[in-house]
Amino acid sequence: MKRFWVLFGVVLLMLYSFTGFVRADPTGATVTAGTAVTGSGTTSDNITINAGEVMSANIYGKTITTKWAGFYGNISGGISLEDSSGNVFYNWSVSDVTGAVVYAANDTVSDWTLSNASEADMPAYVQGTATDSFSNTFTASEQFTSPTKTVDNVLYAVTYGTGTFKTYALKTTSEIIFAGKSPGTAAGFNGNNVDYQILVPAQSNTNYYFYLELP
C-alpha cells in the first residue's frame, strides 16, 4: 500500500509538472499603474507585448499571471515594426486612422464574419472562476462597432490608462479574436501615449497575428 501511495505521488507529480505549464498563479501583487512589472521595455514607436501582465480594471491592481498578455501600440503618425531577426524595419502609415480597430487572432482568419465570444470559446486555462479567469476579466458587455462590423452583446475588459482602452472578445467560426478599439491617443497603462491596448489569453503555445481594420 505504501508503494501505491509512492507511485500515486509520482503520477501526481508528473501530472502537476505537465499542467504546470498552464498554471496561473496570481501573486496578488498590487502595483501602481504606469510601472512595468514584466516584459521588456519599448520605444514609443514600436508596438509591444508585455507578456504576463494583466492590465484590467476589473482585477485589483496589476496581477502577474501566465494566463494573459497585453499588447499596445500606436497606429497614428506612422507605424514601425522590425522583423524577427531585427534586420529589416517596416515603416508604414495609414492616412486616416480615426476609428481604426486592431485585432489579435490566434490563427489565420478565414472568414471575417464576427460574433460575440463567451467563456466556452476561450482556452481552458482562462475558464472557471479564478480571479484572473475570463469571466472575471471580461465582465461588461456592449455593442461592438468597427468601421464595417456591428456585433451585439460583446463582452469587454477595460485596461489601465487615462483613455478608455477596451478589449472586446469576438470569434469567427473557427478563431477567437480580440479587438482593441482606440479612444484616440491617450496615456496607456505605462504612462506612454498609445492608440490601443489589447488583452488576450496567452500561454507558451499561443501565437497571435495582428490585423488593422481600416476606417
Partner 1 sequence: MDKKLKGRSWVLFLLFAIILILNTSFAYSIELNVANSKDWRDVFSVMLYSSLKGESATFLNSESLAGFTSVVKEGTDINVYESQEMPYIPNLKSQLSIIGFNVLNEVKGKRFNLELVPKGINKFIVVSSDNYRLLPSLASFAITNKYWVFIVDETNVDEVESYLKKAQEVIAVGNFRRDLANRLQPYFDKWINHESIFRDSIELAESFSSYNTVVLSDGFSLESEYFRTTNPVLIVGSNKLVDDVYNFLVKHNVKSVVVVGNSLATVGEQIRTKSNKTISVFIKFGQADAQNTGKIYALTFFPLPAPKLFLEITNVIYDPQQKKLIVYFKNSGNVGIYELTTVSVKNGDDELASASQTEAVFIGARETLPVSFDMELPVAELSNNTQAVFYTSFGLTPVELDNYLTLPGKYVPPYITSLKVKELDVENLNFDIVDVAYYPSLNRIGIDMINNGSAPVYYSLRIKDLIINGLPETLSKEGVLQPSGSVERVYISAKLDEVDMEENKQFNLIAYYGPDEETKISKLEKTFEFKTASAGFLTGFFSFDSAGSISLIAIIGAVILFVVVLFIRKKAKSNIGY
Enumerate binding residues for partner 1 (CB under 8 A).
1, 3-4, 7-8, 10-11, 14-15, 18, 38-42, 46-52, 69, 71, 73, 79, 81-88, 90, 92-95, 103-104, 107-113, 147-149, 202, 204-215
Other CB atoms within a 10 A radius of the CB of residue 170 amount to 24
**150 with 213: CB under 8 angstroms?**
no
* DSSP conformation class of 85: T
Give the Å distances, CA to CA, from 191 to 52, 116, 188, 210: 18, 31, 5, 23
| Residue closer to partner 1, measured from CB, 129 or 204 | 204
- Residue 212 Cβ, how far from partner 1 at the closest point, in Å? 5
- Residue 96 Cβ, how far from partner 1 at the closest point, in Å? 8
Look at strands 89-92 and 79-82 and give their pairing: antiparallel
| Residue closer to partner 1, measured from CB, 44 or 60 | 44
- Residue 138 Cβ, how far from partner 1 at the closest point, in Å? 20
- Residue 29 Cβ, how far from partner 1 at the closest point, in Å? 18
| Residue closer to partner 1, measured from CB, 139 or 210 | 210
Q: What distance in Å separates the CA atoms of residue 77 and residue 19, rounded to the nearest whole number?
A: 43
